[in-house]
Structure 1
Amino acid sequence: MENNQEGILLTSAEQSYLWTTYQADTMAVCVFNHFLQHIKDNEIKSLIVFALQLSEEHANFIREIFIKEKIQIPQGFTESDVNLHAERLFSDVFYLNYIKNMAKGGLVTYGRVLQNVYRKDILSFFSACLSQSIELNSRAIDISLKKGLAIRPPTIPYLEKLEFVHKQSFILEGLGRREALTGTEVTNLFANIQTNYIGTSLATAFSQVCKTKKAQNFFKRGKEIALKHIEVFSSYLKMSSLPVPGTYEQMVTQSKDAPYSDKLMMFHFSLMIYSGVGNYGLSTAETQRSDLVADYTRLNAEILKYSEDGANIMIAEKWLEQPPLAANRRDLAKG
């Protein structure tokens, strides 16, 4: 892959996406390297090795681009952010679910990124990232199905005849509540519960091992918020007599030995929050029930406030790197 196109400057989108991807992938390298210190299952191990290889390739490519473009390389995350000698913090099955969730995030993120990228080498890079996320997701699904660990969304009855909506109450609940959920609403509720359970497991684990009291309290609060959101989403599925996915928290060990720096754990949790904001936003757009729209809107506002509190902690601890910014013309005009 050609890493430079002379004379064609990176756009704001391209530079920002590369910067953010570098942060995420250097974090992932640390996370996966610790996973590999304890993994017992060879099939799940092969999946982690593949994910680690992808993250390392991404970080190396971006580093080369930034050097050639004379752009400051982010600090990201390094060997100083991981303790490879720390005890196991998660089970092998959690590793598998974690990879599946991260692959899902890659599918969403890279699909959005590609819409705003024009330079051919960057377009080629992010296209490859999307293809690799598809492959990673497929491998994770194959292993989950083979081991009987796949947690699939519920089934609903097949459509048997063509029908059209005749009442506004299908959308406007005030005119009469629609009891049945659409297939898309079921899918999003189920997925958001699963994602929140991944979040509660990470919050439990990180609060056990982090050294900073503010970070520990932040993770504990995050778990409380996630459990509340799970309860709201589960109520919709239960009212429709549909199954609710279970927790992953039993997959967290009792270790108090920190494998990662507090900086890494706070950044990781922030990524999960931003992903949740995007998931809730998409779910809101795809639902046609006014009560569910109201709940998504209310819960999204709560995690946005929680995200702001996390950013303030990272700023106070000097853990938050400044992303690429547009020129401040007012300051420049002051001379």
Structure 2
Amino acid sequence: MEHNHDNIKLTSAEVSYLWNTYLGDSLSICVFKYFLEHVEDKEIKTITTHALDLSQQHIETIQSIFLNEGIQIPQGFTEQDVNLKSKRLFTDVFYLKYIKNMTKGGLATYGRLLQNIYRHDIRSFFSKCLTSTIELDTEVVRLLLEKGIAACPPTIPYPQKIEFVHKQSFFLEGLGRRDALTGAEVANLHSNIETNQLGTSLAIAFSQVAQSNKVRKFILRGNDIASKHIKVFSSYLEMNSLPVPMSFDQEVTESTESPFSDKLMLFHFGLMIYAGIGNYGVAISESRKSDLVVDYTRLTAEILKLSEDFANIIVANEWLEQPPLSANRKDLTKG
């Protein structure tokens, strides 16, 4: 069945999702191009090339949609934001771990935003984004397992019989602490530790090469917060004799030559901050352990404060492109 889009305007959701995707993929193109300048492992190179190709396809499709709709194409990130000749800042193992974390974010994002998309061509585009991200994630997981560096969530005992909760203390530890974690709680703790570990690794790398002292100080503060959150989440797993994912900070080299602009590095850090807020929100909704919910809530407040400081720096440097906005009726009615 043919769909004519000539008279169907993009909704606020569709315009915003396309705009944000453009910015994110333009950043990814810079990062993956730099990775490919140094990668030595043939299989990791193949996966990195695949990731780059997907981001480039996304950019081309969005550009076409915006041109047809008469929408200004964002500047995003360009060749001015990456120095492909700079020294190696990360190892090949980091590249693979990085792409795994990016696919995890992509799967969550595309699945969420598809719920608010109605125009057929935009649904088709984001559906393809989701499918291709699943395929890339499958490739990455296979290679992580083959190389013995996959950080899988811990196992827990299989249920052997049907049981029902008899005490309210299952939820309220004040009435009798429940030390055991549910499977969902374990999975979210493990995932949030891994995400924060990527944050600390990037913070170490970016702080080594940042040109601006303000940007460096902000990134180092983010590193302190991520390290603290890792300790909090790890303590829950350790109390249950469950393994904690191993850090990959050692996959950052000693290079002090920046491959990326301060604008790109700060924006990248900002994306991870906002992703972290979303991840903690999901964890809260899936947690039945009240002390864990309190910790997630408390730590979310810390990230929100960091996001405010991020916004102040990026605006002060005029690095933030204005996103699509609704009409300001008050301004339009002024004489």
Secondary structure of 1:123's aligned partner? helix
Task: Flag structure 1 segments of 5+ consecutive residues without an equivalent.
Answer: none
Task: Flag structure 2 segments of 5+ consecutive residues without an equivalent.
Answer: none
Q: Does 1:48 find its partner at 2:52?
A: no
Aligned to 2:253: 253
Q: Does 1:85 find its partner at 2:85?
A: yes
Report the residue type matching 2:164 in the other structure: F
Residue 149 of structure 1, CA deviation: 1.1
Q: Does 1:289 find its partner at 2:292?
A: no
Residue 4 of structure 1, CA deviation: 7.6
Report the residue type matching 2:108 in the other structure: V
Residue 260 of structure 1, CA deviation: 0.5
Residue 172 of structure 1, CA deviation: 1.1
State whether residues 151 and 246 of structure 2, in contact with CA within 8 Å, keep that contact through their aligned partners in structure 1. Answer: no
Change (3 A) 1:49 1:3: farther
CA distance in 1, matches of 2:3, 2:219: 39
TM-score (norm 1): 0.98
CA distance in 2, matches of 1:110, 1:294: 29
Q: Does 1:144 find its partner at 2:144?
A: yes
CA distance in 2, matches of 1:262, 1:275: 20
TM-score (norm 2): 0.98
State whether residues 114 and 127 of structure 1, in contact with CA within 8 Å, keep that contact through their aligned partners in structure 2. Answer: yes
CA distance in 2, matches of 1:244, 1:57: 37
Report the residue type matching 2:277 in the other structure: V
Residue 14 of structure 1, CA deviation: 0.1
Residue 134 of structure 1, CA deviation: 0.5
Change (3 A) 1:69 1:315: same
Instruction: Say what the alpha-carbon RMSD is for the aligned residues.
Output: 1.0
Aligned to 2:202: 202
CA deviation vs aligned residue, 1:153-209 (integer Å, no higher than 9, x gap): 111111111101000000011111101000110110011001000000000000000
Report the residue type matching 1:278 in the other structure: G
CA distance in 2, matches of 1:129, 1:300: 29
Instruction: Write the mapping of 1:185-200 to structure 2, written as runs, cut at 5 A.
Output: 185-200=185-200
Report the residue type matching 2:257 in the other structure: D
Instruction: Write the mapping of 1:286-325 to structure 2, written as runs, cut at 5 A.
Output: 286-325=286-325
Secondary structure of 2:37's aligned partner? coil
Q: Percent identity?
A: 63
CA deviation vs aligned residue, 1:245-303 (integer Å, no higher than 9, x gap): 11111000000111010000011111111110010000000000110000000000110
Residue 234 of structure 1, CA deviation: 0.6
Secondary structure of 1:71's aligned partner? coil
Aligned to 2:265: 265
Aligned to 1:114: 114
CA distance in 1, matches of 2:160, 2:220: 47
Residue 110 of structure 1, CA deviation: 0.2
State whether residues 4 and 65 of structure 1, in contact with CA within 8 Å, keep that contact through their aligned partners in structure 2. Answer: no
CA distance in 2, matches of 1:121, 1:263: 32
CA distance in 2, matches of 1:250, 1:94: 9
Residue 3 of structure 1, CA deviation: 11
CA distance in 2, matches of 1:150, 1:201: 17
CA distance in 1, matches of 2:252, 2:123: 38
Give runs of ≥4 in structure 1 deviating > 4 Å: none
CA distance in 1, matches of 2:59, 2:131: 17
